[in-house]
Amino acid sequence: MRDHRRDGVPRGNLPLELDSFVGRGAQLAELARTLDSARLVTVTGTGGVGKSRLAARAAARRSPRDGVWRVQLAPVRDEEFVDYAVVEALGLTDHTTRLPRETLFAHLAERELLLVLDGVEHLVDACAALVTDLLGRAPGLSVLAVGRRPLEVPGERRIPLPPLGPEEAVELLTVRAGQRNVTYGYDADLDEDHGEVRELCRRLDGIPLAIELAAGRLGALSPAQVLQRLDDRFRLLTGGDRAALPRHRTLRTAIGWSHELCTARERLLWARLSVFAGPFDLEAAEYVCSGEELPADDVLDVLSALLDQSVLAREETSAGVRYRMLDTVRAYGADWLAAAGDAHRLRRRHRDWYVGLATWCELEWFSPRQGEVAARVDAELPNLRSALEHCLSEPDGAHLGQYLAGSLWFHWVGCGRLSEGRRWLEQAVRLDAEPTAGDQSRLKALWVLAHVAILQGDTVPALAALQECREEAERSANPTAVAYAEHRTGCLALVTDDARRAERLLRSALRRYRDIGELNSNVLMCQVELAMTRAFQGDLREAVRLSADVRQVCEDHGERWARGYALYVLAYAAWSDGDPVHARALLADCLGGAHRFRDQLGSVLAVELLALVTLAEGDATEAAVLQGAAGRMWPSVGLPLFGSAHYNAPHELCEAAAREQLGDERYEDCVRHGARLGRREAVSRALRRPGGAVSLPGPRPAGRRSAAGSQTPKPAASPTHRGGETAG
């Protein structure tokens, strides 16, 4: 990704150009002029004409204060997910029950940025409504839409993109063929075949995707041979009237021609790969697409051939190498898959792979690979959504859908996707009004739904889901579900200020976890929550003992997420003991991890406590700035819930002392300054040590202790994990 930065803060997510940009000088200039004078510009044109590439090139040349952000809409199939896709692209996190559009209103209201909506044609109504609302609420926002159809909203300026001119088309074919010569060994000089090259580009109507596909064949065929084969197909489909050939048919003909030149196994893999909703890796392709006609061991060779022919593209991501198809190419393969009568079977195989992936990721979340798991699920989200859709649309898919939605709890809760998770969980639970006795999938979906609702501050539906889960779990003698229901009920009591009841329920849940041998991030969070209840009741010694034990277990297993909350409790105790240096070290570790996981609750709690630590270090001005930054973050968490007497105590203490030192006017000025900071800016500022530089600490290898850790009391044996009596 192109990472525009100001003061170390990212200012966009435009993809880096992996190959040269050819031609389009006039269109680039026109688009730049139009973007200077209009807030909504739509680039339209036929599939494969180069709209996305042109828009990305033009957008990269702009420098609005808050950056350029691209939203890829091709993988989005449901109009309800358009808003979520924009929220995700902007890197926003919202734990509340607010609709994603409200989150966008709040984020964009005072920002100056360019939003690129790429691939709007299949979601025109939803995109038009969103753009109209956003432009009306955010005066600093501009939108560059890309699609085969305009949005048809007031104020829209349209830039229809024609195919390449003759010289540009020849240049593109020559450049791309030259790039492939190194790999594929075609040594002919294209200048000697200039007539055939020009004619080939004319037959392809100057459509860049068609030219790219033709260039992929120049590793094996001469321009004259390519032209002859293409000419035969054009005549077949158009009755010989090439001059009247519509451009959309030209593209489909070019894709079909490339399809015919593929071997039988290449065509088969092309069709089967069309079931992927987004980028995929080799292992997924080998499982989903293999069969009697195409053994798994042969998938790599066939996939490589499709890559050579530009049917597939390869890209590097934070989760490793991925492959993707352009939407037009995928649609062609999907037609062939449907015609073969194999679409349903392949979608089920696709579903099964991603259910298995979610199962693996849930297990690996409690391991040193936690960061890798977070990146993997982020990369696979379009395909996981497709699998969820398939489960929930199948007559017999309710239980599997409940299992999949529940197994992704760590992603919904730990990686800042509460709103989307709740949508899937509610759909899954509604599908099965009469569960079978002891149905583990439904019970899991219920307690995960309750957990999500609790974190959103929506207590009534959370309590209803927990009651249903507990009653059914007891009726079916399911001890695991009983433990989770009791744990989450205790969590609900904790965040609603009933610390005594919370302690009773959490201790009981820990005993149940111990009895069934359960150990994972949820169990450790239960012990952290118990530590919080003790801290809120004034027993810091017990709170430290419980949290230090969690910290040690986390470091033994490489767990980072629950560890961050344990560090928060330890930091609070260190501050209470008059040791701001130790408290800051613990909070820096806590905040860095929460920010990487997009855990908004963990982030804002740490920033609030860092403000209090900063005050203790003698800097009331910076403390007030951090309070303002936290104040901007709280609405994304749920201020009515977590702004309770216990969670809000650090804020109130800090505010009272800072106001006294600075005076009301100066304090409010500092708070307003902090409130203008974005999420990453706020985190960077909070992590700036006195007199030092900003840093976002990276993860340390599992099992290693920080220097600050040596100041923490030695962890006691935990009954939950080591047979003692701490949690009981």
Total H helices, total E strands in the chain: 34, 9
Q: What is the pLDDT of residue 280?
A: 95
Spatial distance between the Cα atoms of 19 and 148, rounded to a whole number of angstroms: 24
Beta strands 68-72 and 113-118: pairing type?
A: parallel
Grade residue 193 by pLDDT with cuts at 50, 70 and 90: low
- Say which residue, 291 or 439, is predicted with more confidence: 291
Q: Is the pLDDT at 693 greater than 50, yes or no?
A: no
Spatial distance between the Cα atoms of 511 and 646, rounded to a whole number of angstroms: 25
As a whole number of Å, the end-to-end CA separation of the chain is 49
Q: What is the pLDDT of residue 458?
A: 87
Q: Is the pLDDT at 481 greater than 70, yes or no?
A: yes
* Cα-only R_g, the chain: 28
Spelled out in words, what is the top-level CATH class assigned to the domain 5-160? alpha beta
Q: Left, alpha or beta for 704 (phi > 0: left; psi -120 to 50: alpha)?
A: beta
Cα–chain-centroid distance for residue 183?
A: 34
Q: Identify whether the C-beta of residue 721 lies closer than 8 Å to the C-beta of residue 553.
A: yes
Cα–chain-centroid distance for residue 11?
A: 17
- Please state, rounded to an integer, the average pLDDT across all residues of the chain: 83
Q: Is the pLDDT at 426 greater than 70, yes or no?
A: yes
Residue type, 643: G
Q: Identify whether the C-beta of residue 622 lies closer than 8 Å to the C-beta of residue 584.
A: no
Domain ranges of the chain: 5-160, 166-261, 574-698
Beta strands 5-6 and 9-10: pairing type?
A: antiparallel
Positive or negative CA dihedral for 354, 360, 365, 367?
A: negative
Spatial distance between the Cα atoms of 56 and 68, rounded to a whole number of angstroms: 10
Bridge partners of residue 530, in order along the sequence: none
Spatial distance between the Cα atoms of 93 and 104, rounded to a whole number of angstroms: 10
**What's the number of CA atoms in the CB half-sphere (13 Å) around residue 600?**
28
Long-range contacts of the stretch 530-537 (C-beta < 8 A, 24+): 530/503, 530/506, 530/727, 531/566, 531/569, 532/494, 532/569, 532/646, 533/494, 533/499, 533/500, 533/502, 533/503, 533/506, 534/503, 535/569, 535/572, 535/573, 536/499, 536/646, 537/499, 537/500, 537/503
- Calculate mean pLDDT across residues 285-303: 93
Residue tagged 């939950």 (tokens): 720
Grade residue 189 by pLDDT with cuts at 50, 70 and 90: low
43 SS3 class: strand
Task: Please tell me the pTM assigned to this model.
Answer: 0.74
Cα–chain-centroid distance for residue 214?
A: 35
Q: What is the pLDDT of residue 238?
A: 43
φ, ψ at 377 (rounded to 5°):
-65, -35
Q: Is the pLDDT at 639 greater than 90, yes or no?
A: no
Grade residue 327 by pLDDT with cuts at 50, 70 and 90: confident
Residue from 644, 659, 575, 637 nearest 609 by CA = 575
> Dihedral of the CA atoms 497, 499, 500, 505 (nearest 10)?
110
- Say which residue, 17 or 86, is predicted with more confidence: 86
Spatial distance between the Cα atoms of 222 and 105, rounded to a whole number of angstroms: 55
Q: Identify whether the C-beta of residue 494 lies closer than 8 Å to the C-beta of residue 533.
A: yes
Q: Left, alpha or beta for 717 (phi > 0: left; psi -120 to 50: alpha)?
A: beta
413 SS3 class: helix
Q: DSSP assignment of 189-234, as one string?
A: -GGGGHHHHHHHHHHTTT-HHHHHHHHHHTTTS-HHHHHHHHHHHH
Residue from 577, 633, 575, 573 nearest 605 by CA = 633
Integer angstrom CA distances of residue 696 from 417, 688, 699, 728: 22, 9, 10, 37
Give per-residue burial for 107-123: e unless 16+ CB within 10 Å, then b: bbeebebbbbbbbbbbb
Grade residue 689 by pLDDT with cuts at 50, 70 and 90: low
pLDDT tens readout for residues 483-540: 999 999 999 999 888 899 999 999 999 999 999 999 999 999 999 999 999 998 889 9
- Say which residue, 608 or 716, is predicted with more confidence: 608
Q: What is the pLDDT of residue 17?
A: 66
243 SS3 class: helix
Q: What is the pLDDT of residue 53?
A: 87
